[in-house]
Amino acid sequence: MAELEPISIDGAVAVVTGGASGIGKSICEALLAQGAIVYVADIEQVALDDAISELASLGEAIGVQLDVTDEAATAALADRVIAEQGRCNFLYLNAGVTSGGGGLPWQQEPNDWRWCFGVNVIGVGIGTSAFVPKMIESGAPGQVIVTSSRDGGIAPVPTASVYAASKAAVSCFVESLQHNLISEQTQIRASVFYPSGGLMDTGLYSASRNRPAELERTGSGTGRASMTFDQLKARVAQATGREPAVADLGELGRSAVVSAASREFVIAKDLDLTAGLLHRRADAIGSGELPPPHGLAGA
Ligand X SMILES: NC(=O)c1ccc[n+]([C@@H]2O[C@H](COP(=O)([O-])OP(=O)(O)OC[C@H]3O[C@@H](n4cnc5c(N)ncnc54)[C@H](O)[C@@H]3O)[C@@H](O)[C@H]2O)c1
CB 273 within 8 A of CB 262: no
Question: What residues between 162 and 221 interact with ligand X by CB under 6 A?
Answer: 195, 200, 202-204, 207, 210
Residues paired with residue 37 on neighbouring β-strands, in sequence order: 13
Interface with ligand X (CB under 6 A), residue total 29
127 vs 141, which CB is nearer to ligand X? 127
- Core vs surface per residue 162-186: b (16+ CB within 10 A) or e: bbbbbbbbbbebbeebbeebeeeeb
Q: Give the binding range for ligand X (CB under 6 A) out of 1-9, 88-96, 175-183, 280-288.
A: 88-96
Contact criterion met (CB below 8 Å) for 48 and 42:
yes
Say whether residue 67 binds ligand X (CB under 6 A). yes
DSSP string, 175-235: HHHHHHHHHTT-SEEEEEE---SSB--SSGGGGGGG--GGG---S---S-S---HHHHHHH
Distance of closest approach, residue 36 Cβ to ligand X, in angstroms: 19
Comparison of 40 and 140: residue with beta carbon closer to ligand X: 40
Q: In the complex, what is the shortest distance from the CB of residue 108 to ligand X, in angstroms, rounded to a whole number?
A: 16
Please choose, out of 66-74, 79-87, 135-143, 213-221, the segment that lies near ligand X by the rule CB under 6 A: 66-74
Binding of ligand X at residue 88 (CB under 6 A)?
Answer: no
Q: Binding of ligand X at residue 20 (CB under 6 A)? A: yes
Q: How far apart are CA 221 and CA 105, in angstroms?
A: 11
- Contacts of residue 116, Cβ cutoff 8 Å, sequence gap at least 6: 97, 98, 99, 100, 162, 163, 166
As measured in angstroms, the least distance from the Cβ of 58 to ligand X is: 18
Shortest reach from residue 252's CB to ligand X, in Å: 9
Q: How far is the CB of 124 from ligand X (least distance, A)?
A: 9
Please give the residue ranges that form the binding site for ligand X (CB under 6 A).
Answer: 17-18, 20-24, 42-44, 47, 66-69, 94-97, 119, 147, 149, 195, 200, 202-204, 207, 210
